[in-house]
Structure 1
Amino acid sequence: MAALSITVLTEEALSDADAQRLVQVHEGEDVAYHVIVPADVKRNLLADVLDHLSLFELREALDAVRGKDDDRLDKAEAAEALAASVAALTGTGAEATGDVVEGDPIAALRLEVADGADEVFVVTEPHAVEDTFHADWASKARDTLGVPVLHVYAGTGFLG
Structure 2
Amino acid sequence: MADYDVVLLIEQELTPADAAQVRSLHEGLDDPVTYHVLLPLEDAAARIEASMGSLSAGEMLASPAMSMSDVDLDAVRKDCEERSDRELRHTLESLAAAGATIGSSTVVTDPPIDALAAKVSEVDGREAIILTRPHVVAEFFHLDWTSQARRKIGVPVLHLLEHESFDEQAGGTGEGVTGV
Q: Same fold (TM over 0.5)?
A: yes
| 1:101 paired residue number | 108
Shift of 1:126: 0.4
| 1:154 paired residue number | 162
| 1:81 paired residue number | 87
User: Against the structure 1 CA distance between its residues 63 and 2, is the aligned structure 2 distance closer, same or farther, given a 3 Å change threshold?
Assistant: same
| 2:131 paired residue number | 123
| 2:33 paired residue number | 31
Partners in 2 of 1:84 and 1:19 — Cα distance?
11
**DSSP-derived class of the 2:7 partner:** strand
Task: Give identity over the alignment, percent.
Answer: 34
Partners in 1 of 2:129 and 2:43 — Cα distance?
18
User: Against the structure 1 CA distance between its residues 63 and 13, is the aligned structure 2 distance closer, same or farther, given a 3 Å change threshold?
Assistant: same
Residues 1:139 and 2:174 aligned together: no
Partners in 1 of 2:114 and 2:52 — Cα distance?
27
1:65-102 CA-partner distances (Å, limit 9, x unpaired): 4279xxx9821111111101111111011101411100
Residue type of the alignment partner of 2:89: A
Match of 2:117 among 110, 118, 129: 110
| Structure 2 gap ranges (5+) | 57-76, 171-175
Residue type of the alignment partner of 1:12: Q
Contact 2:44 2:80 in 1 (8 A): no
Shift of 1:118: 1.3
| 1:11 paired residue number | 11
Partners in 2 of 1:147 and 1:42 — Cα distance?
32
Partners in 1 of 2:107 and 2:117 — Cα distance?
15
RMSD: 2.6
Residue type of the alignment partner of 1:18: D
**DSSP-derived class of the 1:156 partner:** coil
TM-score by length of 2: 0.70
Shift of 1:147: 0.5
Shift of 1:41: 4.3
Contact 1:41 1:103 in 2 (8 A): no
Name whichever structure is richer in helix by fraction. Answer: 2
Contact 2:15 2:94 in 1 (8 A): yes
Residues 1:90 and 2:96 aligned together: yes
Partners in 2 of 1:67 and 1:122 — Cα distance?
32
User: Against the structure 1 CA distance between its residues 86 and 42, is the aligned structure 2 distance closer, same or farther, given a 3 Å change threshold?
Assistant: same
